[in-house]
Amino acid sequence: MGIIKAAFDAIRGGFADQWLEVIEADDMGDQTVFTEGVLIRNKGNQKRTDYTVTNGSVIHVYDNQFMMLVDGGKIVDYTAEPGYYKVDNSSLPSLFNGQFGDSLKESFNRIKYGGQTPTKQKVFFVNLQEIKGIKFGTRNPINYFDMFYNAELFLRAHGTYSIKITDPLKFYAEAIPRNAEKVDITDINEQYLSEFLEALQSAINQMSADGTRISFVTSKGRELGKYMADILDEEWNQLRGMEIQAVGIASISYDDNSQKLINMRNEGAMLSDPTIREGYMQGHVARGLEAAGSNANGSMAGFMGMGMGMNFAGNAMGAASQANMQQMQNQQQMNAQMAGGAAGAAPQQTQQHTAAENGWTCECGVVNTGKFCTECGKPKPAPAADNSWTCECGVVNTGKFCTECGKPRPVMSTKWTCECGAENEGKFCTECGKPRP
């Protein structure tokens, strides 16, 4: 028993009378994964036998549908290609693999029995579309140790995920209940949801081990989804012929105790700032004055009561306010030093460098910048005239003869060149009359 492709021309314009029966998939909703085939033509055929697909009937397969022809519980033929197929009891299985390629034949060779009751001929369809909107939510809060808060916190997660059937023969054999005629994902999702939540907890615990702050978990929805898909795809593909297609985490929230601890920690962090702490104290005093003014027994009684309270708490509040102001001043000084450190270093170094250049060392060893020594009063020595000259032998001299080879100091040339280009020896140019520069 098998199927062969039916010529389209033979059935165009309404099915010809030669076809005994025409079978299509029953209604397939968005979350339907499996359904039986139903007659859409010759429903009143009195000659047909129950649970029998009449030889010569036509099966109509739509896009994203996988059709299986089952005989006595045995899968005898299938197709993943849309079109019309004629049932032929005398033919061998055609096995139209469609989008799955030859890999589906391996599953067919391993899985030829779907666990159905014998002596039945049925047509079944598997939905190959993405099955979306499968809801999940953590039944109990997941523990999360946060290194920033140094506390064991707890959170909940809610969202949806989707699956796609990648091996319909394996899915039919492993996931579809025996004798089922129509299955929605919600009918078989209890086990899969437990495995999904287990993977979710493992992913969140891994983020805790990696040191991710708990407040950042809400922004890691895509990473969590990808992690769970990687973990579950291998197992689900191997066991059931399906895989995680996408994960959408709608919300991640904390339990009540964790929220209180986080709020307490954040409030303490804010009050560690002296400016915020001082503002809090001033606001507290202002609220006290406002309450005293609205006292039902009279504002004077309210202010008297407040004054008595202030006598007890005034010293403590004053000391605290003074400490706040001192911390703010220290902070401002530190900020100013940090901001002006680089800029102030350069002028200071410039001043020191200038002082070193203009300073002179007295015979007594004291460095001075004025005209007289501040220690012994000696005047600043006059700068020596630069009468040095270099001999041909390379020795620098100041006298008339070289101290190394004895050669006399060379006579300096008195010639000079005017701007007009003329060479002169006198004080004025003999060509244009300009004075020697």
DSSP string covering 141-152, please? PEEEEETTTTEE
**Are 361 and 367 a contacting pair, CB within 8 Å?**
yes
Indicate the DSSP class of residue 43: T
- Token pair in block for residue 187: 């009918």
Q: Which residue has the tokens 């990687």?
A: 230
Whole-number pLDDT of residue 66: 94
Tokens of 285: 């005093």
Nearest Cα neighbor of 135 from 118, 160, 154, 157 is 160
In degrees and rounded to multiples of 5, residue 249 shows phi and psi of: -90, 110
Q: What is the pLDDT of residue 113?
A: 46
Half-sphere exposure of 360 (CA within 13 A, CB side): 13
Which neighbouring-strand residues pair with 36?
124
Residue 384: strand, helix, or coil? coil
CB 84 within 8 A of CB 60: yes
What pTM did the predictor assign? 0.55
**Amino acid identity at 13:** G
Return the pLDDT at 17: 44
pLDDT at 332: 65
Q: How is 101-148 classified by DSSP, letter by letter?
A: TTHHHHHHHH--B-SPPSS-EEEEEEE-S-EEEEEEE-SSPEEEEETT
**Amino acid 355: pLDDT:** 44
Mapped onto helix, strand or coil, the DSSP state of residue 88 is strand
pLDDT at site 427 = 78
Contacts of residue 240, defined as CB under 8 A and 6 or more positions apart, other chains included, come to 170, 171, 174, 175
CATH class of the domain whose range is 131-254: alpha beta
Domain boundary assignment for the chain: 2-127, 131-254, 392-437
Q: Could you say which DSSP state residue 33 is in?
A: E
pLDDT in tens, the chain (437 residues): 677 877 654 444 444 445 568 899 998 889 999 999 998 866 555 455 566 777 788 899 999 999 998 887 788 888 989 999 988 876 666 666 666 665 565 566 555 544 444 457 889 999 999 999 999 988 888 888 888 878 888 888 888 889 999 999 999 988 998 888 899 999 999 988 998 888 888 888 888 888 888 878 777 777 777 777 777 877 888 888 998 888 887 887 888 888 787 777 666 655 555 665 555 556 655 666 556 556 556 555 554 555 555 554 455 555 555 665 666 666 666 666 666 655 554 555 544 444 445 678 888 888 888 888 888 888 888 765 557 788 888 888 888 888 888 888 887 667 778 888 888 877 788 888 888 87
Question: What's the distance, Cα to Cα, between the start and end of the chain in Å?
Answer: 122
Residue 240: name the closest of 149, 331, 167, 328 by CA.
167
Look at residue 123 in the predicted model and tell me its pLDDT. Answer: 92
In the structure encoding, which two tokens stand for residue 57, read together? Answer: 């009937």
DSSP per-residue string spanning 265-295: HHHHHHHTSHHHHHHHHHHHHHHHHHHHHT-
Least Cα distance to 185 among 199, 164, 156 occurs for: 164
Q: Which residues contact 267 (CB under 8 A, 6 or more apart)?
A: none
Which residue in 239, 247, 232 sits closest to 198, CA to CA? 232
Note the pLDDT of residue 178. Answer: 82
pLDDT of residue 410: 81
CA distance 149 to 142: 17
